[in-house]
Amino acid sequence: MPETLLLTGGAGYIGSHTALTLLRRGRDVVVVDDLSNSSAESIRRVNRLSGREAVFYEADVRDRGKLKEIFANHKIDAVIHFAGYKAVGESVAEPLKYYQNNLDTTLALCETMPQFGVNRLIFSSSATVYGTSQNVPLKESEPTGCVNPYGRTKLMNEEILTDYANANKEFAVTILRYFNPVGADPSGEIGEDPRGIPNNLMPYITQVAVGRRPKLYVFGADYPTPDGTGVRDYIHVADLAEGHAAAYERMKPGVNVYNLGSGAGHSVLELVRAYEEANGVEIPYEITGRRPGDVAQSYADPGKANRELNWKTKRTLRDICRDAHNWQTRNPEGYQKS
């Protein structure tokens, strides 16, 4: 019998790529997603690409009744908890929405999992928990501190899960702190499909590339970095998906925290140039003021994940740019038009 993983938020950007990786590795996948920020089309495409079938439930993870029904229907071996809201600006404007959803989904899982003997959970955290630290490359031992409600929900989730695992020794938690997930499956069938104006750099670039937006605004060129623009650790979403498979395969008792990043920092302008070169397109841009809350540089020390999970990133910045562009050109309007 294949092992079965429940992916909350599995129709979303990272969840759909992880579902594909797991199905290809012979795992069974159950997805629960309320489609608040995604489309069921992503799961249909994951099924097509893998030649297998993820079971899909359109439901809110906070719905305890529905969650029980799902756990009763399947013998779940572990949960990967992607579900949550992720827009930083919106979290500042509507903090309660973020605290309610991002925390209560975790509480619902902690309440329900033990009733069905499920005691392994992998949580989607973020490099945002390092706050304004500039102590790069960032190690897991770096002090945490957040500067917006979204980031605080990530940190609070880490703390809730740690408290819960301390009180219940059979419960194992792996916390994955993602750096900047970008790119798409090389098929161009699944990818990042933000609603409205993209908040993040890569989807903004891809939309400029296909003419959906006239130019990129570069938020600040006066940072203390080699070219003055912000430096980040861009990680191909397929590498990130493989990081989840590795985290599951090598899960240990207790609470374990891992950075998932490449370990290399690239500036905004470097990414723009890499994108132009990989795809033979021009990305017009204009330098504007800094975005509040941004740090000059953030990149991972992924050594712990390299050693303990036997995982490291394999795809290059060029692969990232090619695959992101391929997804966007094949799906200029995202999943909407399918």
12 interacts with, out of ligand NAD, ligand UD1, none, CB within 5 to 8 A per kind: ligand NAD
Does 291 sit near ligand UD1 (CB under 6 A)? Answer: yes
150 catalytic per annotation: yes
Question: Kind and range of the H or E element at 236?
Answer: strand 234-236
The answer to whether residues 16 and 43 touch, using CB atoms and an 8 Å cutoff, is yes
The least CB distance from residue 178 to ligand NAD, in Å, is: 4
- Rank residues 6 and 11 by Cβ distance to ligand NAD and give the closer one: 11
What are the CA-CA distances from residue 18 to residues 70, 99, 112, 179, 195 (Å)? 20, 25, 23, 16, 21
Which of 114, 228, 293, 332 contacts ligand UD1 by CB under 6 A? 293
Radius of gyration over every alpha carbon of the chain, rounded to an integer in angstroms: 19
Would you call 231 exposed, middle or buried from its count of C-beta atoms within 10 A (0-12, 13-18, 19+)? buried
Of 85, 150, 204, 248, catalytic: 150
Q: Which residue is nearest to ligand UD1 (CB)?
A: 230
The neighbouring-strand residues paired with 219 are 288
Residue 62 or 315 having the CB closest to ligand NAD: 62
> According to the binding rule CB under 6 A, does residue 130 interact with ligand UD1?
no
Choosing among ligand NAD, ligand UD1, none, which partner's interface includes residue 201 (Cβ < 5 to 8 Å by kind)?
ligand UD1
Q: For residue 199, what is the DSSP state?
A: S
Residues 6+ apart with CB under 8 A from 44: none
Residue whose CB is less far from ligand NAD, 40 or 226: 40
Q: Provide the binding-site residues for ligand UD1, judged by CB under 6 A.
A: 86, 88, 126, 128, 150-151, 180, 199-201, 204, 216-219, 230, 232, 268, 291, 293-294
